[in-house]
A and B are shown apart, each in its own frame.
Chain A
Amino acid sequence: MNPALQGLLTIAIGVGACVGYFYFANQILDKVIFPARGPNAGRNINRANHIRPWLFLFPAIFALGLYLAYPVVETLRLSLSDREQGGAFVGLDNYSQMMSEPKFWEAMRNNMLWLIVVPAMSTAFGLLAAQLTDRIGWGNIAKSLIFMPMAISFVGAGVIWKLVYETRPDDIAQIGVLNAILAGLGGAPQTWLTIPFWNNFFLMIVLVWIQTGFAMVILSAALRGIPEETVEAAIVDGANPFQIFFKIKVPQIMPTIVVVWTTITLTVLKIFDIVFAMTNGQWETQVLANYMYDKLFRAGDWGVGSAAAIIIMLLVSPILVWNVHNARKEMR
């Protein structure tokens, strides 16, 4: 069968099954279990109405339970058991083993660095781009260009930037842009990604490059939502462009800035692909998610791997809650 037809058929069956589920489940509830007739018609209608929401929510609850809640519980269980002893309960042994590994603390430190640098720089650049592109004719073209990296997968971006940092021996022409420029200026080529500590920042730039577009689009919309009259009032009050930006505009979009910041923070806490594709955690660039992957799938140590996963989840959760809270507050 033609793959396109196959796709359409799949869609038709999937959507049909969904519609069928809601329709027939509803019918059975109303006509068979609690029919709206007979001596108990009123009571039956009330009961059916109590059950109906759960009936409709069931598919979503089931899917979320299977693919979200169950894995969390299972990961927690695995993190408390040991592979060598055939899965026996070992309490917090995996955690204490992990804590004693310098590689874990390196990942922890790097994650915190990412956490500070990437959201701050993405939001700052995004805000700058949003403000600067707002009033110029080719602003939309500039915005599209800045937004484009958003469409690239993290691995793809990692590969692109690996080429930027590419190093060739001194006597061959440099194909990495950075080294080509350096060579052009008379410098010696550097192996950028192997310079400890600073290589973290070379990796962060990739994510900043991607997330700036996201921040810009959201903040640009927020900036446009500022009442023009407040800006004019500030002009009449004698504020210069910097004062208008920092004292009138930025405070008015502060809730949006917080949401953008925390959303990027969540992405950063889970960062894996870029590090995996570019350094795989070597040269002191390890991060938590890549550490987890190493333990879980390379070393096959699901105990410590799951413990790392739980740590990541514990770090993400409070920020996630705060983010949702802020987003809701802004919607009101």
Chain B
Amino acid sequence: MADLVLTDVAKSYGSVNVLKHIDLDISKGELIVFVGPSGCGKSTLLRMIAGLEKITGGELQIDGMVVNDVPPSERGIAMVFQSYALYPHMTVRENMQFALKIARMPKAEIDERVEKAARILQLHNLLDRLPKALSGGQRQRVAIGRSIVRDPKVYLFDEPLSNLDAALRVATRIEIAQLKEAMPDSTMIYVTHDQVEAMTLASRIVVLAGGGIAQVGSPLELYERPENEFVAQFIGSPAMNLLAGEITATGDRTTIAVEGGGTAVSGVPSLAGDMGKKVNIGIRPEDFVETAEGAEHIFSGRVNITEALGEVTLLYFEPKGGDDPVIGKLQGIHKGLRGQTVRLSADPAKVHVFHDTQSLLYRDRPVKRITTKAH
């Protein structure tokens, strides 16, 4: 039922375009996460769906009805705000009743709905407390409860966990995931700048950057087959390494001569016409493996800093020129590698090839040039 369709949606403040050409189909039961660097417009897009910001171009449909000019309360949405936005002068119960009372719902039904939400969120003992007497996590649950009682078609979450401390954030994240499982028919849109939240919660992630959509896909799709350098570097931590090079052999596999001496073989197919093209190869730190001297390598360099995290060790190589340092992530503890020259290679399936910032895998799609840096 709750299909959400955005067609060429745009937002501008005067002559400043904040968002443009946003096309998105969201189907019922999905949990969509908007993720992107700060200032990419993800919260603005959510607020446009909520109706708190005016849509200045394009069309927004909910359930097949254009709602561009429909007030927020009639769109069938409910929103959970970053700072919870509980009404401080009302008890938890009154907070949850407010929207229903405004809608003049019969008292028995209001009580029933509040009861149900309190049961789902374990708010029973807190119903008669004021928000100031609640902890951050409890306030967040009340904010979610306030949405649930309205039984909306679409739930909107605006960075709901960013005001919680780290431990509580993990716990609440899991609660939200369970909540979604308990309400499989509800559609949820969730805004965050935290890619862990995005990866763990989303059925699909929408990466926003530079006022547009950089890529839409399932978390693993974004991780394994990023469409462009921005998404490649935005998803995953530490960010994917990009190394400049030139294509020297084409076909089902592509061979690239990497600047600085190495040779990379990628599982990405290329066309004969790609021969000699300047490209960037992308390899995630965790996909690097150490190779012996004499064997074929993609990258070699002197290790500047090591960070032993226990199960893995991060190797920061000496930066060449002004570039970001290449980072490798090796299993186990390798503290002794500091100051050593290390040679790295990778499985061809894990080597991404970007030409003109776009992955060769997606050569048929229109190029999205994103000028913002991922980190």
Contact = CB atoms under 8 A, between A and B. Distances in A.
Given A237-B73, A238-B73, A232 B85 contact: yes
A84 interface: no
Interface in A182-241: 227, 229-230, 232-239
Nearest to A235: B72
A175 B83 CA distance: 58
B144 to A, nearest CB: 12
Q: Is the interface of A mostly helix, strand, loop or mixed?
A: helix
Interface stretch (B27-35, B96-104, B194-202, B291-299): B96-104
A236 B99 CA distance: 8
B81 interface: yes
> Which of B73, B74, B82, B87: most chain A CB closer than 10 A?
B87
Contact of A230 (B71, B78, B82, B87): B87
B50 interface: yes
Contacts of B99: 236-238
B209 interface: no
A173 interface: no
A137 B349 CA distance: 60
Contacts of B51: 235-236
Given A243-B102, A248-B87, A252-B88, A235 B73 contact: yes
A251 B51 CA distance: 25
A236 to B, nearest CB: 5
Size category, B interface: 20 to 34
A234 B52 CA distance: 11
A254 interface: yes
B83 A232 contact: no
Interface of B: 50-52, 71-74, 77-79, 81-90, 98-99, 102-103, 146, 150
Contacts of B74: 238
B102 A254 contact: no
Nearest to A240: B102
A252 B90 CA distance: 10
Contacts of B82: 229
Given A229-B81, A252-B89, A236 B102 contact: no
A233 B87 contact: yes
A221 B103 CA distance: 31
Nearest to B152: A236
Nearest to A254: B89
B196 to A, nearest CB: 25
Contacts of A239: 73, 98, 102
> Which of A227, A230, A238, A251: most chain B CB closer than 10 A?
A238
Given A238-B99, A251-B89, 11 more contacts: A227-B83, A229-B85, A232-B81, A235-B51, A235-B72, A236-B77, A236-B99, A237-B146, A243-B102, A247-B98, A248-B87
